[in-house]
Structure 1
C-alpha cells in the first residue's frame, strides 16, 4: 500500500475503507455516547419496544425483558466499537482477517440487506412525520424529502454524523421527556403494569427484541469510533458506546411498551398510526409539530448511520476484487446515492403491515449476524489478541488469503444450529414450539459459533507477532 498523506479538512470526508492515519485522528469517547444515545432516541426504537406488548407481554415484563436484551446485545455491540481506535478501520474490513478477503463478502452481502431494511423501515416512519410537518398526504413526498436529507449528511460523512448525534441527543431528551410527562398526566400508567400474567415465551421475545436491536449495530459500530486517537482506552470506548446505546434504546423502548399497553377505549391505537399517535399524545398543534421534528431528527441520525455503513459495506465488497483501499469523492457520492435510491424504493413499496414485518425482520436478522459477531470478537480478542496485519486485509494473496474455511464453516454451523430454536412467521423450529414459541436462536448462534470457531482457529490462524499498520499511518512516539 502507498504511504498515507494527510490533507486539509474538507466538507466531504475523504477517508473511506482506508486506515485513518494518526495525524487525522480526533474526538473523544464521549462522542460515542452522544452518537449512540441520540441514534436510539427515535420512533423505530419505540415501535420495537411496543412489539413485545403487541405480541402478548405485560408492559412491566416487557420493559424488564427489553432491558436484559439491551444489556446483553449492547455488550457485544460495544466490544466491536472498542476495535475502532486501535484498527482505524471500518468494521467489515476487519472481517477479512477472519473470513479471508473474498470470504468476507458472504456476511457483507447480508449486512447490506440489513442496512437497506432498517433504512427503508425508518424512512417510512420519518416520511410520515415529514408529511405531518408540511401538511401533505402523499407518502412519496415525505419519503423523498427524508431520503434527500439522509443523502446530504451521509455524504458529508463522519464529523457531520457525530454532530447530528449530539443534536439528536438534546432534542431526543427534551422531546421524549415531554412525551413521558404527557403519558403520566393523561393515563393511569401504574394500571398498565401487571395486567397480563408472566409468560415465558413473550418474556423471551422481549429479550430477543432488545438483543436483536443492539446486535444489528455490530457490523458498523466501529465505523464511528475509528477516528478516535489510536491509544484511546478500549475500556472507555466500550463503556461510552454501551451506555449511550443501552440508555437511549431502553428509554425509547420502555415508552413504546407503555404506549402499546394503553387500551383502545382509553385513547390507545398506536398500532394504526404510530407517528400520528405520538402527535396526539403531545397534545396536537404546535406541540405535535415539535414532536414530529424530534422524530425526523432521531430517524435522520440512525438513517445516516445506515447509509454510511451501507456505503462502507458496498465499497468493501467491490474492493475485495479491485484491491483498492479507498474511493474518490465522486465514487463516494455514487455509492451512497445507489444505496439510498434502493432504500427509498423499498420504503415506497413496503409500508403495509409495518409492525409485523418489522418484528420478523429483526428476528430473522439475528440468525445471520450473531454468528458473525461471535467469529469476529473471538478472533480479535482471544485468537489474534488485537494483532492484525492491516495491509494484508487489502491483498487476497497475503496472510489472510482469499477464503478462510475455518471462519466460513463455523459461521454456517452457527446459522444452522439456530434453526430448531427459530420462531418465525414462515417457520417455527421444534424446540421453539416446545418453548411455547419463544425464540432464543440468537443466543444459540453466539454460543455454538464461539464453541466451534475458537479451538479450531486457535490451531490454524496465522497471527502476526505484533500489530502491523500501513507505512506512514502511525506517528512516531
Structure 2
C-alpha cells in the first residue's frame, strides 16, 4: 500500500467542478482567502489600473483617495459573494441559477466569460513581456505562449495549487513591490509630483470607479475559491479575510501605480514592464522583479482561466442537465479557454491603457446589476436557504427562466446608459455632471430598488438549505 506525499496531493488534478463539495472534502482556513486575494492583487495590471486615474487627469493624492474609496466599496460587495462559498460548497455562477433560473443564468454568464477572456488576454500581454525579459527573447509571441502554458498547468491542477501560488505571490509581491517603492522615492522627488493639482470631481469619480470596478469584477468567481472551506467556517471570518486581502493588495498596487504615473509619465506608459525592470536597478535585481511580475500575473490569470472554465461549464450544463464532467473534458475546457485568451493577447491592440480603462468600466455596467440581484436574493430574500438539487433541474423550484430577475437585470443595465462616460458613448446626464461616470452606482441602487419588492412577492425559497441526497449533507442551522 502506498501513500501519496504532499507534492503528489497538490499536483493531483482537482475532481470537483460545478457539483457540491461534500463535507469530507472540505479543508483549509479563511486565512487562505487572504493570501490568495492579496497575491492576486499584487501585480502589474493593478498597478496599471491605479496609474490610469493619474493618466486621465487626477492628481496622485486625489487618485489614491478615490481608488481607496472604490476598493473599499467594491471589496465589500465582492467579499459578500465570497462568504457564500462555505455555506453552499458551489462555484459562484451556479448559485446564480437560484435568481435567474437554470437557463436564465446563462445571460449574465456569457458576459462573465467575455470578462475572463478580456482580463486573461490583457494580463497575458504584460506577463508575456516579463517572460521575454527573463528568457532574453525579443518575440512577444514566445512570452505570451509560455505564460499561457503556465496558466493552463496551474488551472488544470486546480484548487490546492492555485492557493499555493497565491501564497507565493503574496510573499514575493510584498518584497518586490516594497523594494520598487523604495527605488521610486530614491530615483524621483516624489513629493514634487503630487499635490500639484486641485480637486477635480470628474477624475476623482473616475478613480473611485476604477477601484470599485476592479473589485466588483472578482464577484462572479470569488466563491469558487472559498467553496472548499468547512461549512462551519464563520461567514464573517470568510468575509473579512477576503475583503482585507483583496483591498490591501489592490490598494497597495494602485497607490504605487498612481505615484509611478505621476513621476515617470511617458517613461512608464510606453513600457510598463520594462520600466519596472529599469527602476529595479542592477540586472540581477531586475531579473527578480520580472519574476515577481510573472508570479503575480500567474496568480490572477489562473483565476481567470479557472473561473472561465467554470462559467463555460455552467452555461453548457444548463442545457444538457449534467452536474459532473470527466477529468479529460475538464482539462480540454481549460486548455481551450487558455488558447483563445493567448490568441487574443497575440492580436492585442497597442493602445493598451485606453482600451483597458474602457474595458473595466464597461464591465462595471453589466456586473453591478448581477451583483445586486445575487446578494439581495441570497441575504435578504432566500436568507441563505438554497435548494441545491433544483439548481441543476429546469423543472425544479427555480425553473428554466426567471423573467422577473432577468427583466430587473436588463433594466439595471439600461438605466446606466444615460450616465456612461465611455470612449464610444457619453450619456446626457454625464455631460450635465461634467463628464463624471456614476453609472455603476446607478446600476447597483436602481437594480436593488426594483428587484427587492418584486422578488419578495415572487420568490419561493425553501425553509432550509437543501443539499443533494448523495452528499449526506444536512442543514446544521435547522
TM-score, structure 1 length as denominator? 0.97
Contact 2:467 2:473 (8 Å CA) reproduced: no
- 4+ aligned runs moved over 4 Å, structure 1: 474-477
Which digits, 9 at most, give the CA deviation of each residue in 1:292-319, with x for residues without a partner? 0000000000000000000000000000
Contact 1:121 1:351 (8 Å CA) reproduced: no
Which digits, 9 at most, give the CA deviation of each residue in 1:52-109, with x for residues without a partner? 0000000000000000000000000000000000000000000000000000000000
Query: In the alignment, is residue 47 of structure 1 matched against residue 48 of structure 2?
Result: yes
1:312 corresponding residue in structure 2: 310
Contact 1:140 1:348 (8 Å CA) reproduced: yes
Equivalent positions of 1:12-411 (< 5 A) are: 12-263=13-264, 269-411=267-409
1:455 corresponding residue in structure 2: 453
Distance 1:99 1:202 in 2: 35
- Structure 1, unpaired ranges of 5+: 1-7
Query: In the alignment, is residue 468 of structure 1 matched against residue 466 of structure 2?
Result: yes
Distance 2:87 2:469 in 1: 15
Distance 2:134 2:197 in 1: 37
Contact 1:70 1:214 (8 Å CA) reproduced: yes
What is the deviation of 1:193? 1.4
What is the deviation of 1:472? 3.4
Contact 2:51 2:259 (8 Å CA) reproduced: yes
1:3 corresponding residue in structure 2: none
What is the deviation of 1:269? 1.1
Contact 1:66 1:206 (8 Å CA) reproduced: yes
Aligned residues: 467
What is the deviation of 1:263? 4.9
Q: Which moved more, 1:310-319 or 1:178-187?
A: 178-187
Distance 1:304 1:474 in 2: 32
SS in 1 for 2:411: helix
Distance 2:473 2:456 in 1: 32
Distance 1:472 1:181 in 2: 56
Contact 1:307 1:340 (8 Å CA) reproduced: yes
What is the deviation of 1:351? 3.8
Distance 1:271 1:284 in 2: 22
What is the deviation of 1:440? 0.8
SS in 2 for 1:260: helix
- Structure 2, unpaired ranges of 5+: 1-7
What is the deviation of 1:475? 4.9
Distance 2:83 2:115 in 1: 22
Which digits, 9 at most, give the CA deviation of each residue in 1:367-408, with x for residues without a partner? 000000000000000000000000000000000000001100
Taking only aligned residues, the RMSD between alpha carbons, in angstroms, comes to 1.1
Distance 1:437 1:120 in 2: 29
Contact 1:69 1:206 (8 Å CA) reproduced: yes
Distance 1:379 1:26 in 2: 27
1:421 corresponding residue in structure 2: 419
TM-score, structure 2 length as denominator? 0.96
Distance 1:350 1:327 in 2: 33
Distance 1:218 1:317 in 2: 17
